[in-house]
Amino acid sequence: MHILVVEDSRALAAILSARLASFGHEVTLAENGKIGVEKFTKASFDLVLMDIEMPIMNGFEATNRIRAYEATQQWAWTPILFLTASDTLENLVTAIEAGGDDFLAKSVPEDALRAKMKAMGRIAALRRQLSIANQQLDELASRDGLTGLTNRRAMDLKLDMAWEEATSQGRSFGVLMLDVDNFKKYNDHYGHQMGDDCLRSVAAAIESAMTAARAEGCVGKSAFAARYGGEEFAIVMPDMAAPGCERVATLILDSLRARTIAHEKNANYGIVTASIGGACLAKAEGRIADMFRTADIRLYRAKENGRNQAILAD
C-alpha cells in the first residue's frame, strides 16, 4: 500500500515509517495536517494514518478537508486511521464525525500493527477493484449500444461542461451534424439488421476520421463524436484549430465513401454517403443551442443541394 503518515513528531514518524516499510509498504510523511492535505491532493494513497494533536492544523480539521476534497472526485474514499495515545470516547466520536474510520494506538505492538495493515490492504484492494468496476459501468452507460459512440445523454453532459469552459476562456469551438443520406430507403431495401450494420460502419468511419484529425492537429483531445439519434450523428470539437471544421468534415466524408457500402436507393451515388452541416466559432460565445441550430440548418441545405457534401458557412 501507499500510506500517508501525518505526524508532527519526527521521532514517532520515523519509527512508524520504518515499521511500515519493513512490511513492504510505501510511506510518505507529512509533519502537520496542512501539509498532509496538500500531499493527499497531489498523489494517490491507499491509507492515511493521522495524528490528532498537531500545530498549524490538527488531525480532525485535516480529515474534514480530505473528505471535502474526495467529495469532488469520482468514486473516492480512502481509509483514515487516527494515531492516538488516548482512545477516549470523546476523541472517538469526534474522529468519526470528522470522517475518520478507526483508531490506531501509537504504541501498538508489532504483531497488531502488521495484522491491522493486512486488513487495510484487503480494503485497499477491494476499493481499487470497485473503482475499476464503477469506471467500467460509467463507460458503458455513456456509450451508445449500437455504434459504441458517446450516447445522447452523455453527450449533453460533456457538451455543457465543454461549452462552459470554452466560453469562460474565450476558446474556439466547432460542431458538426451528420445525417446518413436516404437512410430510410436503405432500411426499407436492405432490412433493419443491415441498417444497424450500416450505422456501425458510419460510426467507424467517423471515429477513423477523428483519429486522423487529432493526428493532424485539427482538433484537440477533448473532441468527440456522438450518436445524436437515429441515423444522425454529432461531432463536438472544443479547441478546434482554424481550418478544423472543414478538415474534419472532409475526412469523415472521405472515410465513409472509401468504405463503398452498397446503397442502391441512394440516387446518383450507389453507395452510403452522408450530409454534414457545421458551425464553427473562433471564440465561443452565446448559447450552444444556437450553434446546433445553425449546424442543423446547414445540414438540410447540404441535403437540398444534392447530399454527399458538407456546408459549414452561409
Domain of residue 76, residue span: 2-141
Q: 162-178: per-residue pLDDT in tens? A: 999 999 999 999 999 99
Same domain, residue pair 208 and 228: yes
Same domain, residue pair 160 and 244: yes
- Domain boundary among the residues 87, 107, 141 is at 141
**CATH code at position 88:** 3.40.50.2300
Same domain, residue pair 161 and 293: yes
Q: Considering the domain boundaries, does residue 231 fall inside one?
A: yes
Q: Considering the domain boundaries, does residue 104 fall inside one?
A: yes
Nearest CA to 205 out of 249, 264, 267 is that of: 249
pTM of the predicted model, to two decimals? 0.64
Same domain, residue pair 157 and 266: yes
- Domain boundary among the residues 141, 175, 202 is at 141
Provide the pLDDT for residue 141: 75
Q: Considering the domain boundaries, does residue 146 fall inside one?
A: no
Pairing of strands 2-6, 47-51: parallel
- Domain boundary among the residues 100, 115, 141 is at 141
The CA angle 239-155-198, to the nearest 5 degrees, is: 105
* Cα–Cα dist 222/169, whole Å: 15
Same domain, residue pair 115 and 189: no
Task: Give 3-state DSSP helix, strand, coil % of the chain, rounded to 5.
Answer: 50, 20, 30
Same domain, residue pair 128 and 156: no
Give the distance from CA 108 to its chain's centroid.
41
How is residue 19 written as a grid cell? Answer: 515499521
How is residue 7 written as a grid cell? Answer: 505526524
Q: Considering the domain boundaries, does residue 147 fall inside one?
A: no
Which stretches of the chain drop beneath a pLDDT of 70? 75, 86-89, 91, 136, 139-140
Provide the pLDDT for residue 130: 79
The tally of domains found in the chain comes to 2
* Cα–Cα dist 33/43, whole Å: 16
Provide the pLDDT for residue 193: 95
Same domain, residue pair 117 and 169: no
Same domain, residue pair 164 and 292: yes
Same domain, residue pair 73 and 115: yes
Contact between 178 and 278 (Cβ < 8 Å)? no
Q: Considering the domain boundaries, does residue 206 fall inside one?
A: yes
Provide the pLDDT for residue 183: 97
The amino acid at residue 67 is R
**CATH code at position 167:** 3.30.70.270
Same domain, residue pair 168 and 120: no
Q: Considering the domain boundaries, does residue 300 fall inside one?
A: yes
Same domain, residue pair 100 and 180: no
The amino acid at residue 193 is Q
Same domain, residue pair 164 and 306: yes
